[in-house]
Amino acid sequence: MGKPTGFLEIDRKLAPKRAVSERVNDYKEIELLNSTEDTEAQASRCMDCGTPFCHNGCPLGNIIPEFNDAVYEQNWKYAYDILSTTNNFPEFTGRICPAPCESSCVLGINKPAVAIELIEKSIIEKAYSEGWVIPYVPKVRTDKKIAIIGSGPAGLAAAAQLNKAGHLVTVYERADQIGGLLRYGIPDFKLDKSVVTRRVEIMKKEGIIFITNSNVGMKDKLANLTNNFDAVLVATGSTTPRVISVKGNDALGIYPAMEFLSQQNKRNASINIELNHKGEKYGNTNIHAGGKHVVIIGGGDTGSDCVGTSNRHRAASITQIEVMPKPPVDRASNTPWPNWPNMLRTSTSHDEGVERLWSISLQEFIKNDKGELEGLLIGDIIYNMKDGKMEQEVINTRKIPCDLALVAAGFVHTDHDSLFDQLLSVGVKSDERGNLVANSSYQSDNEKVFIAGDARRGQSLVVWAISEGREAARNIDLFLMGKTSLEGKSVSSFDLLAK
């Protein structure tokens, strides 16, 4: 470890953000980078704790203390080499990971945690600017061919790893662009799409074949892939939205958050919005919040992305409602360190302006006589103890104005479409939630078909999708070759403690 007293001398310093007054006028990224000197100082706060719990907090097992030390020692190339052994895409996680590693940082017990995510982003951006990120073309090719369905972070991570092992990889994507939710879903102000394109271009040079506008199940049949490839990886995500079953939910003016968000990604890229993120025609081709009273149903991250986008559209008002009670401002006692804390999260989008309401019951979508949405009937949920049981009561029922309702109430399962039916017909199983089932080797009940990412675990995080893609790739390599030299998740502190 470079500086034993770094954590005593230096305070946590995050990168500057563009001012709200400036950033709401465009869709450019909000967060900037610290200077090289500041980042090296931040890395010196990593305190050689002995048992780095951050290591286990990161689903990729990123080797955090080692890359922090290399940055502090100004050996950025070595830091990049360490980081890239466990993470194919630090430029994505360094921007949009909620950083569970920081919640389990040992320094975080009594001081602000090491700024791990920012250091990760700084390493990869330095690597790009120095020309260290170059295509890896395998010296030896095997004769194995692998088809990957879906080009989100799970599919991309698996493609990169399997290509590295020498296999010929073809990625099928139903949308017109590669990237899954990184491309269509996550707003540009959190992740600029040039960052996704920059990586995909490198992957193409590595020999990976990408086929867009190709809905497997519809255009290309699953059987074509299972017959012509040695293995098939299904990484189709989980974007079927939860439907709000209350009176009036057929009103004009209610849309799933994904349709709203992905349209804005397309507008920013000057892509026609006639087809949605699935490559299908959607009922209304222009979902815009400009001048509207917007209510976002759901208090999570997708809802927060709708807040930021609605502010950029110049909505007349923005309200975000959530059925759950307001979380505590600090870590709740039922999620002690090093767990991911239950606590109030205020995003950069919230900072730009929104009214957040908690413990709200949505009772009805109110329509005018043309069937258009004009308001929501909501009430406050309170809890009463009755005969030893907690009972829910709705009080203070009231109407709030709303002519655009965006449903961000979560995703129920992977799409139950033609591909899903074809997968079931070749022996792949689905679980009780409606996602696809694979064993601990990511292999389904059809030995040639593997599953990874949200399609298997349900809507989750980019870092988990990358982790699943890498693990699935390792198991596919093992299945095809009988051995593998692809890296698995690095050994975690918890694993070491268990030994």
Ligand X SMILES: Cc1cc2nc3c(=O)[nH]c(=O)nc-3n(C[C@H](O)[C@H](O)[C@H](O)COP(=O)(O)OP(=O)(O)OC[C@H]3O[C@@H](n4cnc5c(N)ncnc54)[C@H](O)[C@@H]3O)c2cc1C
Give least dist CB 49 to ligand X, A.
25
Residue of 64, 70, 123, 149 that binds ligand X (CB under 6 A)? 149
Q: Is 99 in the site for ligand SF4 (CB under 6 A)?
A: yes
CA neighbor of 13 nearest in space, from 33, 47, 2: 33
Closer to ligand X by Cβ: residue 462 or 480: 462
Give least dist CB 235 to ligand SF4, A.
18
How many other β-carbons are positioned within 10 Å of the β-carbon of residue 130? 11
Give least dist CB 148 to ligand SF4, A.
21
Q: Is 264 in the site for ligand SF4 (CB under 6 A)?
A: no
Give least dist CB 15 to ligand X, A.
16
Instruction: Give dist(CA 286, CA 61) in Å, integer.
Output: 42
CA neighbor of 253 nearest in space, from 411, 409, 367, 400: 367
Which residue is listed with tokens 């079931």? 424
Taking the chain, what is the end-to-end CA distance rounded to the nearest angstrom? 25
338 beta partners: none
Q: Per CB under 6 A, which region of 67-75, 182-190, 389-397, 486-494 contacts ligand X?
A: 182-190
Cα angle 386-390-395, degrees, rounded to a multiple of 5: 85
Closer to ligand SF4 by Cβ: residue 93 or 311: 93
Q: Per CB under 6 A, which region of 22-30, 168-176, 351-359, 433-441 contacts ligand X?
A: 168-176
Closer to ligand X by Cβ: residue 185 or 338: 185
Q: Is 173 in the site for ligand X (CB under 6 A)?
A: yes
Task: Please say whether the beta carbons of 57 and 65 come within 8 A.
Answer: no
Closer to ligand X by Cβ: residue 66 or 259: 259
321's enclosing H/E stretch is: strand 317-321
CA distances from 372 to 181, 342, 359 (A): 30, 38, 26
Q: Is 462 in the site for ligand X (CB under 6 A)?
A: yes
104: Cβ contacts below 8 Å, ≥ 6 apart? 53, 54, 56, 57, 337, 338, 339
Q: Is 87 in the site for ligand X (CB under 6 A)?
A: no
CA neighbor of 282 nearest in space, from 255, 318, 301, 321: 255
Q: Is 152 in the site for ligand X (CB under 6 A)?
A: yes
Task: Please say whether the beta carbons of 461 and 117 come within 8 A.
Answer: no
Closer to ligand SF4 by Cβ: residue 116 or 377: 116
Counting residues that bind ligand X (by CB under 6 A) gives 42
Q: Which contacts qualify for 337-343: CB closer than 8 Å, 24 or more apart? A: 337/103, 337/104, 337/108, 337/109, 338/53, 338/56, 338/57, 338/103, 338/104, 339/103, 339/104, 340/57, 340/100, 340/103, 341/103
Identify what 476 binds: ligand X, ligand SF4, none; CB under 5 to 8 Å per kind. none
Identify what 120 binds: ligand SF4, ligand X, none; CB under 5 to 8 Å per kind. ligand SF4
Give least dist CB 61 to ligand X, A.
16
Give least dist CB 221 to ligand X, A.
11
Give least dist CB 79 to ligand SF4, A.
13
Amino acid symbol at 130: E
Closer to ligand X by Cβ: residue 70 or 149: 149
Residue of 47, 116, 123, 406 that binds ligand SF4 (CB under 6 A)? 116
Q: Per CB under 6 A, which region of 73-81, 180-188, 366-374, 399-407 contacts ligand X?
A: 180-188
3-class SS string, 226-290: HHHCCEEEECCCCCEECCCCCECCCCECEEEHHHHHHHHHHHHCCCCCCECCCCCECCCCCCCCC
For the chain, what percentages of helix, strand and coil (3-state, to nearest 5) are there?
35, 20, 45
Residue of 96, 116, 160, 232 that binds ligand X (CB under 6 A)? 96
Residues in 439-478 at the binding interface with ligand SF4, rule: CB under 6 A = 463
Give least dist CB 467 to ligand SF4, A.
9
Closer to ligand SF4 by Cβ: residue 97 or 158: 97
Residue of 180, 241, 308, 338 that binds ligand X (CB under 6 A)? 180
Residues in 214-273 at the binding interface with ligand X, rule: CB under 6 A = 215-217, 235-237, 239, 258, 261
Site string for ligand X, 295-334 (x = CB under 6 A): ------xx--x-----------------------------
Tokens standing for 242? 């939860």
Task: Please say whether the beta carbons of 363 and 394 come within 8 A.
Answer: yes
Give least dist CB 408 to ligand SF4, A.
22
Amino acid symbol at 465: A
CA neighbor of 463 nearest in space, from 439, 438, 489, 493: 489
Identify what 462 binds: ligand X, ligand SF4, none; CB under 5 to 8 Å per kind. ligand X
Residues in 40-79 at the binding interface with ligand SF4, rule: CB under 6 A = 58, 60, 62, 64
CA neighbor of 72 nearest in space, from 4, 137, 8: 4
Contacts with ligand SF4 by CB under 6 A lie at 58, 60, 62, 64, 93, 97, 99-101, 116-117, 120, 463
Contacts with ligand X by CB under 6 A lie at 96-97, 149-155, 172-175, 180-181, 185-186, 190, 215-217, 235-237, 239, 258, 261, 278, 301-302, 305, 415, 419, 453-455, 459-463, 465
